Amino acid sequence: MATLRVLIAGGGTGGHIIPALAVARELAAHHAAELLFVGTARGMESRLVPEAGFNLKLVHVGQLKNVSLVTRLRTFMDLPRSIFTCRKLIRSFRPNVVFGVGGYASGPAMAAALQLNIPAMAFEPNAMPGLANRLVGKRVQAAAVNFPSAAKWFNNAEVTGIPVRPEFFTLAPPPLGAQPHLLIFGGSQGALLFNVHLPIILKDLLDAVPGLTVLHQCGARHIETTLAAYSASGADSSRWQVSPFLDDMPARFGSANLVMARSGASTVAELAAAGKPALLVPFAAAADNHQLRNAEEMVKAGAALLLDEKDLDVPGKLLGSLAGLLTSAERLASMSAAARTQAHPDAAECIANRLVELAAL
């Protein structure tokens, strides 16, 4: 049987490259596939792909979103060269199928694949697809999406979900009768908005929710200022902890009754896998407002409460939302069950199998 060769293009953020790596591992382990990643020097793939043991080729692709007109024009002028480079890579590697995961390098690589009549499949983790995927969505042979609402942008789309670490799916709920615990998770770099607003309400929140403990990941850059703000809040220091970065996130999720977080695709997928109720505050500057769309899907499912960034400036809004959730065990249980309906434990396997089908060896 011929060797399966898959070219995986794109990245930029963890929400694109981490699921791509999960699919790559599935392809290597169960289909003996040869894999080549194509990305950019400024994306997370430049570090994560080599660390995972996969080959990576870098291409120069400019930015189109949230940049000046001059930068956009330069990107459009460079686009033919980027596509030409990707055509050369495809001819050299000779993939049976190209998998575009979104992000800067995905567009040129997918365009090159389509020009060369190589089967192409898109992956879209967000409810609102990014620009690269919107441009090629109706021309690809297949697509894997996380939210049903994204399927309309693609040809032959299937809701596969996002690959998530298996540990998230096996978490037991906090023990009955245990004191409530709130996890505040602003992403690996922290969320400045959370770091500013949580200390302001902390004392009142602890007074409103008997026995509550709080763990807040604030990001390494903000640890000193956030710690100072928490210390100045007057809240009982034995009931809160601030950390620059948290290891073993599945275990951290497991001990939480409620998670306050942004609504990037990976975070939302992990919340679903863990069955965790969430208070979601979308990052307002996210491209195409995709974090808001992700949060809205979780709210629609009954798994989350949504606050806009501006809501945090409304006196009592954040405090009332957190206290209301944390003092209602029935509502948290209902949200937990709803979150699990959005989980996809076999996402990596499903995506890998579709790629194998497309390759048609």
pLDDT (0 to 100) of residue 194: 97
pLDDT (0 to 100) of residue 76: 52
pLDDT (0 to 100) of residue 75: 52
The CA-to-CA distance between both ends of the chain, in Å, stands at: 8
User: In whole angstroms, what separates CA 134 from the centre of its chain?
Assistant: 18
pLDDT (0 to 100) of residue 285: 85
Q: How far is CA 79 from CA 11, 13, 44, 53, 99, in A?
A: 17, 21, 21, 29, 19
The reply to whether 5-164+345-359 and 167-340 are identical in fold is: yes
> What are the φ and ψ backbone dihedral angles of 8, each rounded to 5 degrees?
-110, 120
Domain borders along the chain are 5-164+345-359, 167-340
Choose among 9, 36, 27, 40: nearest CA to 114: 9
Reply yes or no on whether the pLDDT at 178 is more than 90: no
DSSP string over 163-218:
---GGGGGPPPPPTTPPPEEEEE--TT--HHHHHHHHHHHHHHHHHSTT-EEEEE-
pLDDT (0 to 100) of residue 270: 96
CATH topology of domain 5-164+345-359: Rossmann fold (3.40.50)
Choose among 269, 273, 302: nearest CA to 162: 269
When the pLDDT of each residue in the chain is averaged and rounded to a whole number, the result is 92
pLDDT (0 to 100) of residue 175: 81
Mean pLDDT of the region 229-254:
95
Q: At 81, is the pLDDT very low, low, confident or very high (cuts 50, 70, 90)?
A: confident
The string of pLDDT tens digits covering residues 267-326 is 999 999 999 999 999 999 887 889 999 999 999 999 999 999 999 999 999 999 999 999
Reply yes or no on whether the pLDDT at 66 is more than 70: no
CB 100 within 8 A of CB 133: yes
In sequence order, the 6+-apart residues with CB closer than 8 A to the CB of 267 are 185, 187, 261
DSSP string over 98-128:
EEE-SSTTHHHHHHHHHHTT--EEEEE-SSS
**Rounded to whole angstroms, how far apart are CA atoms 306 and 321?**
9
Reply yes or no on whether the pLDDT at 74 is more than 90: no
DSSP string over 264-314:
-HHHHHHHHHHT--EEE---TTSGGGHHHHHHHHHHHHTSEEE--GGGGGS
pLDDT (0 to 100) of residue 140: 96
In sequence order, the 6+-apart residues with CB closer than 8 A to the CB of 272 are 164, 298, 303, 339, 340, 341, 342, 343, 344
pLDDT (0 to 100) of residue 130: 84
284: tokens are 């307002």
Q: At 69, is the pLDDT very low, low, confident or very high (cuts 50, 70, 90)?
A: low
Name the percent of the chain lying above pLDDT 90: 78
Reply yes or no on whether the pLDDT at 61 is more than 90: no
33: tokens are 């596939």
Question: Which single residue is written with the structure tokens 């997918």?
Answer: 110
Q: At 176, is the pLDDT very low, low, confident or very high (cuts 50, 70, 90)?
A: confident
User: What one-character DSSP code corresponds to residue 259?
Assistant: E
Q: How far is CA 15 from CA 4, 9, 18, 291, in A?
A: 25, 14, 6, 11
Q: At 189, is the pLDDT very low, low, confident or very high (cuts 50, 70, 90)?
A: confident
CB atoms closer than 10 angstroms to residue 71: 13
| pTM exceeding the 0.75 threshold for the entire prediction | yes
Reply yes or no on whether the pLDDT at 68 is more than 60: no
**Rounded to whole angstroms, how far apart are CA atoms 150 and 140?**
14
CATH topology of domain 167-340: Rossmann fold (3.40.50)
Least confident of 70-74, 229-233, 251-255, 328-332: 70-74
4: tokens are 């399966």
The string of pLDDT tens digits covering residues 121-163 is 999 999 999 887 888 999 999 999 999 999 999 999 999 999 9
Mean pLDDT of the region 82-104:
94
Could you tell me which residues are beta bridge partners of residue 217? 185, 243
Mean pLDDT of the region 201-206:
98
DSSP string over 332-357:
HHHHHHHHHTT--TTHHHHHHHHHHH
Choose among 23, 11, 293: nearest CA to 132: 11
Reply yes or no on whether the pLDDT at 344 is more than 90: yes
Least confident of 42-51, 78-87, 167-176, 208-217: 78-87
